[in-house]
Amino acid sequence: MPRVSALYRHPVKGFTPEETRELTVQADGRVAGDRVLAFRFSDAAVPEDRDGLDHWPKSKGLSLMDFPSLARLKLDYDHDARRLRLSLDGAVVIEAGLDAAGRDELVAHVTEFLRGTTDGRRLERAGRLPLALVGDGERSRFQDRARGFVSLHASASVAAVDDAVPDGRIDDRRFRSNVVVDGVAAWAELGWRGRVRVGDVVFLVRGPIGRCLAVQANPDSGQRDAPVLKTLTRVFAQDEPTLGILLLPSGGGGRIRVGDEVEIVG
């Protein structure tokens, strides 16, 4: 029986995944605590509210697609205290709350860090500075798509990519899925249709996940060190680089835990 082997959420869009033993899936399809904050460009409007669901395209702020160096900044978020801690090379750079002063400090440190990287030139484009740290730290609202979705992939699919990439270096974190599943063959999840039960939650499968340059960034070094997109299209003969699937809860949310069974229920 396939089982959940790892769970992740991403408190700040584009930053370090937070591995956890349990996730709460909200009725709207989003993971509680996932992408509750984001660093917005100066010329980007605040997230739109479309039909009651928020939408945050990558073009509005910092993301791994354009700023792979962000992966070097390790982030810890205290969801109860609403405090962020950023570390670099094992040393804490800053820890601050989400009041105005704390947000200003966090923005200043992230800006300074990026200016010292090869991604710094992208930050200097018109309309990007000053950055703003947006979000209340609780409401999940900075997903790429108008519907939040829960993302899932099979660990065997990632292992297949790792085997195909010279020198390896590919693990689950590159793909930033919420749910990782063991016990299924590589790419099997792309063939799932209808409804899938994961733990307490029954989901509708809504389609595969097309991948962008974010997956080429090493989650530790921030370097684009692996041709993941070309590997998906050339080695695995995909028309578009794809790994993992999008899910929406059917009939309400619930909890998912590491070790939960995964079942296709039709």
Q: Which of 214, 207, 117, 138 is nearest to 173 (CA)?
A: 214
pLDDT number for residue 46:
63
Q: Mapping DSSP to helix (H, G, I), strand (E, B) and coil, where does residue 232 land?
A: helix
Per-residue pLDDT for 51 more than 50? no
Residue 120 phi/psi, 5-degree rounding, is -60, -35
- The CATH code of domain 3-264 reads 2.40.33.20
Residue 88 has pLDDT above 70, yes or no: yes
- Number of CB atoms found within 10 A of residue 11's CB: 23
- CA atoms of 256 and 237, how far apart (whole Å): 33
Query: Averaged over 35-60, what is the pLDDT?
Result: 75
Residue 57: predicted pLDDT:
80
What's the rounded mean pLDDT across residues 140-161?
91
Instruction: Tell me the pLDDT band of 167, cut-offs 50, 70 and 90.
Output: confident
Distance CA 250, CA 23 (A): 17
Cis peptide before 17 (omega within 30 of 0): no
Residue 13 in this model has a pLDDT that exceeds 50 = yes
Q: What is the pLDDT of residue 54?
A: 65
Q: Which two tokens stand for residue 36?
A: 């509750």
Query: Cα–Cα distance between 218 and 21 in angstroms, integer?
Result: 24
Per DSSP, helices labelled H in 116-170 are 120-123, 155-164
Sheet order of strands, 73-78 included: 73-78, 83-88, 91-97
- Of the listed ranges 12-26, 40-54, 134-148, 207-221, the least confidently predicted one is 40-54
User: What number of other Cβ atoms are within 10 A of residue 164's Cβ?
Assistant: 17
Tens digits of per-residue pLDDT, 189-247? 999 999 999 998 999 999 999 999 999 999 999 999 999 999 999 999 999 999 999 99
pTM of the predicted protein model = 0.94
What pLDDT, on a 0 to 100 scale, did the predictor assign at position 48? 52
Residue 172 has pLDDT above 80, yes or no: yes
